[in-house]
Structure 1
Amino acid sequence: MIASLDLGSKVRLLTGASTFTTAAEESIGLGEIRLSDGPTGIRGLDSSGVREVTLLPNATLLASSWDTRLLYDVGQLLAEEALAQRIHVALGPTINLHRSPLGGRLFEAYSEDPLLTGLLAAAYVRGLQDAGIGACLKHLVANESETERHTMNSVVDEATLRELYLTPFEVAIADADPWSVMDAYNDVNGVASTENVHVNTEIVKGEWNYSGLIMSDWLATRTAVAAANGGLDLVMPGPGGPWGEALIAAVEAGEVPMSVIDDHVRRLLLLAARVGALGEQRLYDMEVPAPTSIGRRDQLVQLAATGMTVLTNRGSILPLEPDQSVALIGRHAVDTVCMGGGSSEVSPPHQVSIAEGMTALPGTSLTVVDGVAVRTRPATVRRGVLLDPETGEPGVRFVLRSTDGSEIEERRTGSAVTTIGWDDDLDAEVAAIEFHAVTTLDGPVDVGAIGVGDWTIHAGDDTFDYALDQPHSDGDGGTDRRGPSMQDILGGALQQPPFRRDTTVVSSGTAISGVIRRPMTPGRFAVTVAPAQRNSEDAIAEATSAAAEADVAVVVVGTTEEQETEAFDKSTLHLPGDQDALVSAVASAARKTVVVVNAATPVIMPWRDEVDAILWVGLPGQEAGHAVAATLYGAVEPSGRLVTTFPAEDGQSAAWSVTPEGGDLEYAEGPYIGYRGHHAGRAPAPSFWFGHGLGYSSWEYRDAHLTGGSSVRVNVANVGGRTSREVVQLYFAPVERDQPVRLVGWQDVTVAAGSSADVEVSADPRALRRWDTSASRWAPLSGRGQLILARGLGDVRARLEAVPADA
């Protein structure tokens, strides 16, 4: 097939045909390959917000199950969702590490540990690809923060790069053979990821013998010659980009060998063959459960609940008793955050709040109280808050108009958001966007606008007029040494566009309408209506009053998509607003207090010793409220274990800063990230260790002994009152002074109350090696040290002297 193509045809195939498709070539039977963002749902080719799809729990919550079978099932579910939209490749999983807890995109990635990340990713990949949908490991490599992400240079020594940041990619490629990999935006040691011969060619395609395709992150490619020779196979998106005629000229000038072009095309054709886009095209006649079907909803509840993690449970207050009266408190209780921000966002059919989930349980005595303000930006509109005035269906009617006022297109969305992307096939330039809706709310509301343009909003008797300007990136006027930066577009108009919020009073049926003139495109636009955020004094007074009257106060706190987002990092791990004051006030007034943490990543908990129980629930997806209710009342055991260490205070992690200095972000901590740094004394003891999680039972570890040089057997006894799942974790602390402790294996087991089970855990050989920089090769650790059985390193159950293999 390759031999039948001329140079122009070959090069045309190596740049996307649109935002999410590749080019077809009829002469060889090649159809387009359709790609979709996919970590928490398959959004598909439609970026306008029209299509409703299933919203899964976020990656850290799924990973907290420590269950490769569950991750395989997630891959299978996403494959079904992809098949329903004729998608060939899901752009995931994200397997960058949780280097610093400040990373804004940690919610999309699995953990701070390379082995755990790699093995979970491999299971996810197998789930997708066993159903014929390609996976795409991202983002290669050292892409652990978002600040200046298009221009920053990750400075990381070779041993740390190999032992930590490349290991998840290596494990997933070796164990699951993912059909594609995505190069990151950042440089690595001064070389752009899309041009990095050392990583792309020498390591991935050479040492690992990877046969798949390496594509660029969207708009990450800056050059023709350096990127083509640097191991990149496919430039995304298209059309356009830096290849095309420039790459043809480079080949003709001898700067890029034809053999390199042929290898890129070969990898593209192999991907097409694997996903059914080459030769006889795949038939899409599969019956797929609807996002609202009972089976799908039950599946999502189970996925979310399994990873939820009991952090404290004094007096076994959890699970709650059905006859207890409960005061449910907090803005996150009534406006539960179900997903993070950025390219992983989808438009789900609903997002069940914790208040809705607990109210749905029969026989509960429940009082619901709103909490303190938690947002700076306008809140995402809940389904049913805004209705199309013509159809009465949930959503907003958007009308795109040209410069002469004529209608270009009408969009009826199920949400309050519309996105105009690069690939929208519009007849004319969009000069104005009208929007029309009615609200179902009564009382004070916050009316918000999101998106670059000149806004007029009519809300009942009030009219608001203002301009929202394009945000600008830091740096030298939005450019960098590799060409024009896309930070203003990707990080501003699309990922976190400007906003404004005003407060007014409405009644059910009030019209919400207006126009956005001079909208910036590509861009994302939303009109939002939500219950007005309350002042802290009033909110705390009402909360403490309700808490004093109930048997148990359940306070729901957390972060929002303002902190858990692509394109921006956090500046603190403290909860936004006055949520800490709310928890402390409730704890002082209530008989018993349970705190539910609705956050994807670590938060600081100054009140942890004031409350009776803490349940971490991540960002639980569209069935959030049902999943949280199921765990609080014990219908499903929250058997999760933390995938990230929770520091006790800001700055108390060995790796902390995510802000480049002079464009460089130094990975100066080397391999001592997360629990490795705390265990080595390079950071104070954390609030909660990686691997921590109590479940709803108690455990004894008995007769731990070696069964080989790096395998341990232990009898695990469930001494609690209910059937429960335990995750037996095996760590190795090498005797080598320059090597940190590391997770080397784990095994989960479910045991009935009063029973026990023998569990054997073997160390993965890939965790028992070090990179010998002087010899440029892997070398085994000496094997001398301790094998540690633990429920997280804060709860060690046995220490065994390791026996070297050559002893």
Structure 2
Amino acid sequence: PHEVSVLDGVRAALRGRARVVHVPGPRPDGPAPPLGHDACTDPRSGLPGVLLRMLDADGRELYAERRRGGRLLEPRLVPGAHTVEVSARLRPRTAGRWTLGVAGFGRMSLALDGRPLLAGDFPPPTDDPAVVHVNPPAQYAGADLAVGQDALLVARRELAPGTGRATVVSAAPPAPDAAASPAEAARAAAGADAAIVVVGTTEHGECEGYDRTTLSLGATQNALVRAVAAANPRTVAVVNSGGPVELPWRDAVGAVLLAWFPGQEGGDGLADVLFGRAEPGGRLPTTWPAALADAPVTRTLPADGRLPYDEGLHVGHRGWLRHTRVPAYWFGHGLGYTTWAHEELTVPPRAGAGEDVTVRVRVRNMGARSGREVVQVYLARPGSAVERPVRWFAGYAAVRARPGESVTATVRVPARALRHWCVRERAWRTETGRWRVLAGRSAGEVPLVADLEVVGPGSG
């Protein structure tokens, strides 16, 4: 029913307490964004959004409804439907040359105030469902718009077998100058008590159905963060992405907050975390490189029909642990609003092969406010008869403590975390002998170490 942006969430949280100055940053690299309900109105009702109509072959209306935006992946299919039409009355807030577009396949057209902008037949180059039904390519045209002068945009696409129904209508204002936008943001940041700069990926760079070719946020977004951080050291970079990205400016900002595509209430949730009403509680489920070239595995394209998995079981943090380069952030990393000391690790003196192992870790809240810590346990097997990682994730538990308080996390390490697959016997087996248990805050920070003796059936 609604979507709360980061700006809306910040303004609502600080209403009556502080003045929020907003400077638009450069548009992320990629296609123009779909029409939003705040930039247009349904020409029939006058309400925010667009008008979706299904027409028959003679252009007669079969169905109509108002939609909130221009991204229509599954418009309602009615008997006799021949054409999808999306119309919207644009309300330009910026004058100049706008980029208008329609995405889909088949015969499509775009008109502004009755004047044709583009028309043609655009067959799908692939049958990939992610492209056909989720992210079809767009066709663009330019048009000059003036502030205060509404314009009627009408997009049409004919339906044809194998082309889906996805129709996306976009309208982007003139792009801010790539150099002027960071400079303007820096001037605003220099006069502020604190700065929040929001960057991230979009559905055009990070989406199911195809691989990313880079982890970079792009030169324009990186320049924006650097400019703001140079102007104000009290800068928080909010990174809205669904996976690892390069953060070349991470040491220049005061803090980095990962948003992880938070959804319709994301703005309010992020404001709660930014202003201390809630503690950031997440921990990285992946290891983030400083640069893509640093990663242990960078090639995933088959050659001559074959893709060798040379890394074997050394994937993720297990691959990084034997790699020559250090990542920017380890698997399991994540900070909150207090600090912790890991004081003691207790493991049983011995455990039977095939049994779960209960590990206890005492931690102390060393900060000035209550907090939550995610205690992580890893395993290692020195001198193993089979190939193993340097260490590997085995279990975790979350604990809460008041300032100065110590608490004990109880972590159950499942028996399967100690097993290996015996190719010769075609069965799971557990090595007996000395194992190593490690505990800490991430795969790269495990200050506590203890030994565990694993014994076989009948051992005394």
**TM-score scaled by length of structure 2:** 0.89
Q: Partner of 1:784 in structure 2?
A: 434
1:403 alignment partner, one of 57, 60, 63? 57
Q: Partner of 2:388 in structure 1?
A: 739
The 3 A distance-change label for structure 1 pair 507 and 493 is farther
- The letter for the 2-side match of 1:688 is Y
Query: 1:786 deviation in Å?
Result: 1.6
Q: Distance in 1 between matches of 2:418 and 2:375?
A: 18
Q: Partner of 1:639 in structure 2?
A: 281
The 3 A distance-change label for structure 1 pair 514 and 454 is farther
- The letter for the 1-side match of 2:164 is P
Q: Is the 8 A contact 1:548 1:591 kept in 2?
A: no
Q: Distance in 2 between matches of 1:777 and 1:393?
A: 65
The 3 A distance-change label for structure 1 pair 630 and 666 is same
Q: Is structure 2 residue 417 aligned with structure 1 residue 767?
A: yes
Q: Distance in 2 between matches of 1:794 and 1:413?
A: 48
Q: Secondary structure at the match of 1:666?
A: coil
Q: Partner of 1:98 in structure 2?
A: none
Q: Which has the larger radius of gyration?
A: 2
The 3 A distance-change label for structure 1 pair 597 and 758 is same
Q: Is the 8 A contact 1:689 1:793 kept in 2?
A: yes
Q: Distance in 2 between matches of 1:680 and 1:720?
A: 34
Q: Distance in 2 between matches of 1:510 and 1:461?
A: 13
2:255 alignment partner, one of 600, 609, 613? 613
Q: Distance in 1 between matches of 2:89 and 2:305?
A: 47
Q: Distance in 2 between matches of 1:508 and 1:360?
A: 28
The 3 A distance-change label for structure 1 pair 531 and 632 is farther
Q: Partner of 2:354 in structure 1?
A: none
- The letter for the 2-side match of 1:427 is P
- The letter for the 1-side match of 2:326 is A
More helix by share: 1
The list of structure 1 runs, each at least 4 consecutive aligned residues, that deviate by more than 4 angstroms after superposition, is: 460-463
Q: Is structure 2 residue 365 aligned with structure 1 residue 718?
A: yes
Q: Distance in 2 between matches of 1:494 and 1:577?
A: 30
Q: Deviations over 1:598-647 (max 9, x none)?
A: 11111111112222211111111001111111111011100211011001
Query: 1:355 deviation in Å?
Result: 0.8
1:566 alignment partner, one of 203, 208, 214? 208
Q: Is the 8 A contact 2:4 2:264 kept in 1?
A: yes
Residues 371-520 of structure 1: matches in 2 within 5 Å?
371-420=25-74, 426-428=78-80, 430=82, 432-444=83-95, 445-459=98-112, 463-467=116-120, 469-473=122-126, 486-487=127-128, 490-501=129-140, 502=142, 504-507=144-147, 510-520=150-160
What's the RMSD between the two structures over aligned residues?
2.3
Question: What percentage of aligned pairs have identical amino acids?
Answer: 32
Residues 502-651 of structure 1: matches in 2 within 5 Å?
502=142, 504-507=144-147, 510-520=150-160, 521-651=163-293
Q: Secondary structure at the match of 1:771?
A: strand
Query: 1:538 deviation in Å?
Result: 1.3
Query: 1:519 deviation in Å?
Result: 4.2
Q: Distance in 2 between matches of 1:666 and 1:394?
A: 52
**TM-score scaled by length of structure 1:** 0.52
Q: Is the 8 A contact 2:108 2:158 kept in 1?
A: no
Q: Distance in 2 between matches of 1:448 and 1:392?
A: 22
Residues 332-347 of structure 1: matches in 2 within 5 Å?
none
- The letter for the 2-side match of 1:614 is V
The 3 A distance-change label for structure 1 pair 467 and 802 is farther
Query: 1:530 deviation in Å?
Result: 4.2
The 3 A distance-change label for structure 1 pair 425 and 531 is closer
The 3 A distance-change label for structure 1 pair 406 and 663 is farther
- The letter for the 1-side match of 2:151 is A
The 3 A distance-change label for structure 1 pair 372 and 680 is same
The 3 A distance-change label for structure 1 pair 661 and 364 is farther
The 3 A distance-change label for structure 1 pair 503 and 395 is same
- The letter for the 2-side match of 1:750 is R
1:367 alignment partner, one of 14, 21, 38? 21
Q: Distance in 1 between matches of 2:371 and 2:40?
A: 43
Q: Partner of 2:316 in structure 1?
A: 674
More strand by share: 2
Q: Distance in 1 between matches of 2:36 and 2:434?
A: 56
- The letter for the 1-side match of 2:344 is D
Alignment: residue pair count: 441
Query: 1:461 deviation in Å?
Result: 8.5
The 3 A distance-change label for structure 1 pair 506 and 733 is farther
- The letter for the 2-side match of 1:439 is L
Q: Is the 8 A contact 2:157 2:167 kept in 1?
A: no
Greater length-normalized contact order (CA 8 Å, ≥ 6 residues apart): 1
Q: Distance in 1 between matches of 2:230 and 2:121?
A: 43
Query: 1:679 deviation in Å?
Result: 0.9
The 3 A distance-change label for structure 1 pair 628 and 425 is closer
Residues 141-540 of structure 1: matches in 2 within 5 Å?
349-361=1-13, 362=15, 363-420=17-74, 426-428=78-80, 430=82, 432-444=83-95, 445-459=98-112, 463-467=116-120, 469-473=122-126, 486-487=127-128, 490-501=129-140, 502=142, 504-507=144-147, 510-520=150-160, 521-540=163-182
Q: Is the 8 A contact 1:557 1:595 kept in 2?
A: yes
Which consecutive residues of structure 2, in runs of 5 or more, have no partner in the other structure?
352-356
Deviating more after overlay: 517-526 vs 747-756:
517-526
The 3 A distance-change label for structure 1 pair 760 and 435 is closer
Q: Distance in 2 between matches of 1:613 and 1:375?
A: 24
Query: 1:404 deviation in Å?
Result: 2.9
The 3 A distance-change label for structure 1 pair 517 and 759 is closer
Q: Is the 8 A contact 1:723 1:753 kept in 2?
A: yes
- The letter for the 2-side match of 1:397 is L
Q: Secondary structure at the match of 2:271?
A: helix
Q: Secondary structure at the match of 2:130?
A: helix
- The letter for the 1-side match of 2:32 is P
The 3 A distance-change label for structure 1 pair 667 and 605 is same
The 3 A distance-change label for structure 1 pair 503 and 357 is farther
Q: Partner of 1:318 in structure 2?
A: none
Which consecutive residues of structure 1, in runs of 5 or more, have no partner in the other structure?
1-348, 474-485
Q: Partner of 2:336 in structure 1?
A: 695
